[in-house]
Structure formats: C-alpha cells, structure tokens
Amino acid sequence: MRTRYGLLINAVRHMKMSHHPNVAPLPREDEMEIGTEPVTLQILAGEVTLTGDLEIPENPSGLVLFAHGSGSSRQSPRNQTVAEVLRDAGVATLLFDLLTPEEELEDAYNRHLRFDIGLLSRRLAFVTQEIADDPRSRNLGLGYFGASTGGAAALRAAAALSSTIGAVVSRGGRPDLAGEALAYVKAPTLLIVGERDEDVLRMNERAYEQLQCEKSLAVVPHATHLFQEPGTLEEVARLAAEWFRKHLRGRS
C-alpha cells in the first residue's frame, strides 16, 4: 500500500519526466536590475496557479523558498523579516502562497488545508522544480525555510527532491507531521524552536531524533511560538542566515 510520502515521490518523478515551462517569464536582464524590487511570479503547481515574490540580491550564494505556516501567506511579517536578513546576507528569496485566494477563504472556515501536509509538500515540490529551471536561479543552491506546518511540508519536499535541496530551516515548525519522510531527508536541517513553546519543543525533539542527516536543534531563550519577544525573531533570522550561508552551494 502506498503511503502519502510515496505518492509525493511519484509526483516528483512525474514532474521530472514531463516538465513544462510553468513559471511566468521574468523580465529580460536589461529590464531588471539585481537587488531592486521583487519580481512577482505566477507559478502553475498541478491544477492551481500560485503567486510568489522573487528577490535576488547581488552575487547571491543561493535561493531560499519560504513555506509559510498555517493560516499565513507570503505576506507574513515574520517571514518577511527573515527574508530581508537573508538577502542582506547574500541569499535570494522566493516567498509564495501555498494556497490560492479561494482556498484561503475556504480554509479560514474549515481549517483543513493548512494541515494537509501532502498537498502543501507537493505544491512546494512543484514550485521548486520550476524555479530550479528558471534562468535567473538555475545555478543557485536551493534551500527551504518552513514555519509551523510549512516546516513539515519543507521536510517532506526535501526528502522527495533529495540532492536538489541543499539546506532546510524550520522556525517553530511541526516536523513531526513529516512522518516517515524524516528518515529520508538528506539536506542539512536546522530546527529552531522557542524555549517557552514547550509542546512544539517536545515535538521537535522527537522529530530531531528521527532525522538521519546533518542536523541541529536551536532553542531560542525566552521565545514563545511566534517569536514576538524582543530580539527573538532577529535571532531566528541570524541562525537561518548562518545555516544557509554555510550549506548552500551553486548547482552545475
């Protein structure tokens, strides 16, 4: 019997065999200066079109795709803060919505899509395959930054895409929801949790034991789940930037 993780593996294999140019074309190089305003992309992911904002600093060392958490979007202030720090450290960012506007309205009532890790990880894998082939990011090492349930989606997608993903960071994530995929993650993985987010910390500790890759668990002092305490989100961003700068390498 096939598991949900097995279905994701099969979906990724299908993407590799039947690739289509799904990313809306970026401006020509003479129409866009590196390090200016983000470029908004429309990306086909299966049967839906997702919106994302791509921003590339000068001489980037890699590209990080953000998988937002439950009830959030690419406009998440916390992810925006982390993304700005990454770009200052020379890492390009792609923040995109895992759900369509219609799905977000539906999920606001029934709250079931935000916990559909299979759906979220498949969409993340679709977007990753598309951006990996885009001329502006074709040679950049790719990483994931996942928050809340987006952390589980990032780990599942990283396991399915294997060597395509160079590093993963989870902020206040639910890596336990990645299930059996944890044992197949190859990318160096950093789990960041708030010291006072006790339930999620325990979940991360259990998931950490199942990871077989290079890994680290960072506990931010005094922080709760949303890292709202002074200086705690800045510490998350610093840890993430160091991890990506250390592990992301260019692709040939």
Per-residue model confidence as pLDDT tens digits over 107-165? 777 767 777 899 999 999 999 999 999 988 989 999 999 999 999 999 999 999 999 99
Residue 16 pLDDT = 44
Residue 233 pLDDT = 97
Of residues 102 and 174, more confidently modeled: 174
How far apart are the C-alpha atoms of 250 and 128, rounded to whole Å? 15
pTM: 0.86
Of residues 123 and 250, more confidently modeled: 123
For 40-83, give the DSSP string: EEEEEETTEEEEEEEE--SS-SEEEEEE--TT--TT-HHHHHHH
Amino acid in position 209: E
How far apart are the C-alpha atoms of 17 and 90, rounded to whole Å? 33
Residue 51 pLDDT = 92
Q: Quick one: which of 186, 191, 182 has its CA closest to 220?
A: 191
Residue 5 has pLDDT above 70, yes or no: no
How far apart are the C-alpha atoms of 192 and 41, rounded to whole Å? 29
Tens digits of residue pLDDT in 54-81: 999 999 999 999 998 766 678 888 899 9
Residue 66 pLDDT = 96
Average pLDDT over residues 42-51: 90
Average pLDDT over residues 90-104: 90
Q: For residue 252, give every residue at least 6 positions away whose Cβ sits within 8 Å of its Cβ, in sequence order, or none.
A: 139
Residue 188 has pLDDT above 70, yes or no: yes
Q: For residue 57, give every residue at least 6 positions away whose Cβ sits within 8 Å of its Cβ, in sequence order, or none.
A: 34, 35, 87, 88, 90, 91, 92
Q: Which domains does the chain have, with CATH numbers?
A: 4-247 (3.40.50.1820)
pLDDT band per the 50, 70, 90 thresholds, residue 212: very high
Where are the alpha helices (H) located in 91-231, listed in sequence order? 101-110, 117-132, 149-161, 198-210
Count of CA atoms in the C-beta half-sphere (13 A) of 180: 9
Average pLDDT over residues 75-97: 94
Residue 251 pLDDT = 74
pLDDT band per the 50, 70, 90 thresholds, residue 220: very high
How far apart are the C-alpha atoms of 93 and 68, rounded to whole Å? 13
Residue 71 pLDDT = 62
